[in-house]
Structures are given as structure tokens and as C-alpha cells.
């Protein structure tokens, strides 16, 4: 994977193929705007030195999108208003992941501080859904795509027809909606909104990164993962299960994985969202500590 220009947008591939804990970055040349500084630390240091960075934008608040933000702490930071609170305080950050277990918080605290350079940050201003920002190099349309996080943003550059999908990355893993304030319904709505935008190039934050042809069936395959997870859960709940028994079934990750604290957090967060959805729809009921279809 290599750096690629699409009009004023420079695609900067992340380390390890853009897989967690990295992501791909976008640099808007001319305007010197860097989007999601978590790609390649050495390359971002070079970029800061020449040609320079005047502003940093975030698609959302997750750590694998701001990992190298410490290189730019003296530079204006812009993010959505909805996604600013987790960046302001580490306790709020962990709350936003739904970490209600002290062992989890003790495990993650040094990782967020040391590996992801977390520190309290307040944006210079907010990026708002629906805004059209006129830059020297063209316009950027700010598209609110909540679900993954409450204030997740995607960016459309109509000149070159480049659409930055952010973490609606069209990977085989499927969508992430495991945070405290994530939403399955809004995730589906946001993906459907993105697929209707008349782009020519689609840029995702992880893995494949660039799609120079309409993703086609990838949209459907990506969303189908949600239904597949739900069907597995409904099948599991033909017998009453506790939340911990549901988590142990590894519907999201397929099998137990290490580090346990990492994968169980994701598994639990997603299963809670599916259980909330199925109970709201009257498909699952809760009896004491047990869930049953």
C-alpha cells in the first residue's frame, strides 16, 4: 500500500495495513489539514516538518484515530461536538466505551496513556454535519454518520469525488457499534446514506483503504454481518443465558482471543447492543440475570 493523490487529498497508509491500533490518514495539501493522525508516526513527523500541518480533523473519538495526536498538540483540533467529551477526560473516555469493571479500567489506563498518548484535549472548534467548508483547494462536505460513535463524521470532496468513509470501512469483520452510545439502527442508516453519495473514490480508515470502483456488493456484505450476528444470538438464546455466557460464546470474534481484556470488551459491548435491540423488538426477554428468545 502506498501514498496516493486524489486531487488535493493525499492518502497516507497506516502501519500494519491500517489495522488496529493504526488507521489510514488523509492530508489535504495546500490547506495543510491532517485527518486522523494515527497512520505512521515517522511519516507524520516528516509531514509536520514539511510541508506542515495547520489543523487536525478527527472523524471520531476512538484511540486508533488520534494515536499520534501528541505530535500536533499545539495545532488546532476539530471534531464533532458529540464526540468531543471522551477526548476531554480519560475517565469519560473509558465510560464512553462502557467500561464498568475496575479491572478493565486498570488494564486500559496505562495503554491509553503510553501507547495512544492520551491526554485531556479540547477542540478549537466543532465540525458540524451539513457544513460545506470552502478551502483553498476546493470544498469539503461534512457528513454526519452516527452509529459507530454518536458524532462520527465522514468527509466528501466533490471536486475529485473522494469520500472518506471513516470507520464504516467495508471490512469483512463488519461494523463496530460496541460503545456505550453506539447504535445499530444509526449504523445501518449511516451506511445507507454513504452508499448513495455520488463518489468516484471511496477511502476507508482501515485495511483495504481505497476503492477506486463502486464498492457494489461490499455494502450489502458489510451490513449483512449485523444480521448474521443477530441470528447467531437468537439461536443461542433458545436456551436461557446470562450476559457472561453470551459473551463466552464469542459471536463477534469467533473464538476466545488474547488479550482477554481487549476482546471481551468488544464482545460484551456488541452483545449488549443486540440484546437491547431484540428486547425492544419483543424477540428476547430478560428474566432475572437470564436472556431468552
Helix (H) or strand (E) holding 155, with range, is strand 153-157
This prediction's pTM: 0.97
**Helix %, strand %, coil % of the chain (to 5):** 35, 20, 45
Q: Which helix (H) or strand (E) holds 164?
A: strand 162-166
- Among 69, 27, 30, smallest CA distance to 47 is for 27
In this prediction, residue 79 carries a pLDDT of: 98
Distance CA 81, CA 52 (A): 26
Per-residue pLDDT at 227: 98
Phi, psi of 24 (to 5 degrees): -85, 150
Q: Count of CB atoms within 10 A of residue 148's CB?
A: 26
- In a structure prediction context, what are the per-residue pLDDT tens digits for the chain, which is 293 residues long? 899 999 999 999 999 999 999 999 999 999 999 999 999 999 999 999 999 999 999 999 999 999 999 999 999 999 999 999 999 999 999 999 999 999 999 999 999 999 999 999 999 999 999 999 999 999 999 999 999 999 999 999 999 999 999 999 999 999 999 999 999 999 999 999 999 999 999 999 999 999 999 999 999 999 999 999 999 999 999 999 999 999 999 999 999 999 999 999 999 999 999 999 999 999 999 999 999 99
The pLDDT of residue 34: 98
Helices 260-280/217-236 angle, 10° precision: 80
pLDDT at position 16: 94
Rg (CA), the chain: 19
Q: CB neighbours of 206 closer than 8 A, spacing ≥ 6?
A: 14, 18, 19, 20, 23, 24, 167, 169, 171
What is the structure's pLDDT at 261?
A: 94
Cell of 250: 464469542
Amino acid at each position: 500500500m502506498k501514498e496516493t493523490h486524489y486531487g488535493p487529498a493525499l492518502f497516507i497508509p497506516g502501519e500494519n495495513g491500517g489495522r488496529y491500533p493504526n488507521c489510514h490518514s488523509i492530508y489535504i495539501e495546500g490547506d495543510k489539514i491532517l485527518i486522523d493522525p494515527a497512520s505512521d508516526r515517522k511519516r507524520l513527523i516528516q509531514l509536520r516538518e514539511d510541508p506542515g500541518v495547520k489543523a487536525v480533523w478527527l472523524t471520531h473519538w476512538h484511540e486508533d484515530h488520534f494515536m499520534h495526536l501528541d505530535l500536533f498538540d499545539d495545532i488546532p483540533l476539530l471534531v464533532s461536538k458529540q464526540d468531543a467529551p471522551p477526548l476531554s477526560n480519560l475517565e469519560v473516555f473509558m465510560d464512553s466505551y462502557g467500561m464498568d469493571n475496575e479491572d478493565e479500567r486498570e488494564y486500559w489506563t496505562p495503554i491509553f496513556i503510553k501507547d495512544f498518548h492520551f491526554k485531556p484535549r479540547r477542540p478549537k472548534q466543532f465540525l458540524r454535519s451539513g457544513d460545506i467548508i470552502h478551502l483553498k483547494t476546493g470544498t469539503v462536505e461534512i457528513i454526519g454518520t452516527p452509529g459507530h460513535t454518536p458524532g462520527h463524521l465522514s468527509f466528501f470532496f466533490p471536486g475529485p469525488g473522494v469520500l472518506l468513509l471513516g470507520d464504516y470501512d467495508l471490512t469483512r469483520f463488519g461494523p463496530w457499534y460496541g460503545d456505550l452510545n453506539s447504535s445499530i439502527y444509526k449504523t445501518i442508516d449511516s451506511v445507507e446514506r454513504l452508499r448513495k453519495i455520488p463518489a468516484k473514490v471511496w477511502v476507508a480508515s482501515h485495511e483495504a483503504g481505497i476503492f477506486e470502483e463502486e464498492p457494489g456488493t461490499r455494502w450489502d456484505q458489510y451490513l449483512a454481518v449485523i444480521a448474521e450476528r443477530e441470528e447467531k444470538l437468537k439461536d443461542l438464546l433458545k436456551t436461557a443465558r446470562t450476559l457472561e455466557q453470551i459473551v463466552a460464546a464469542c459471536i463477534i470474534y469467533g473464538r476466545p482471543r488474547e488479550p482477554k481484556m481487549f476482546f471481551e470488551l468488544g464482545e460484551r459491548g456488541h452483545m449488549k447492543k443486540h440484546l437491547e435491540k431484540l428486547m425492544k423488538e419483543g424477540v428476547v426477554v430478560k428474566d432475572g440475570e437470564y436472556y431468552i428468545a
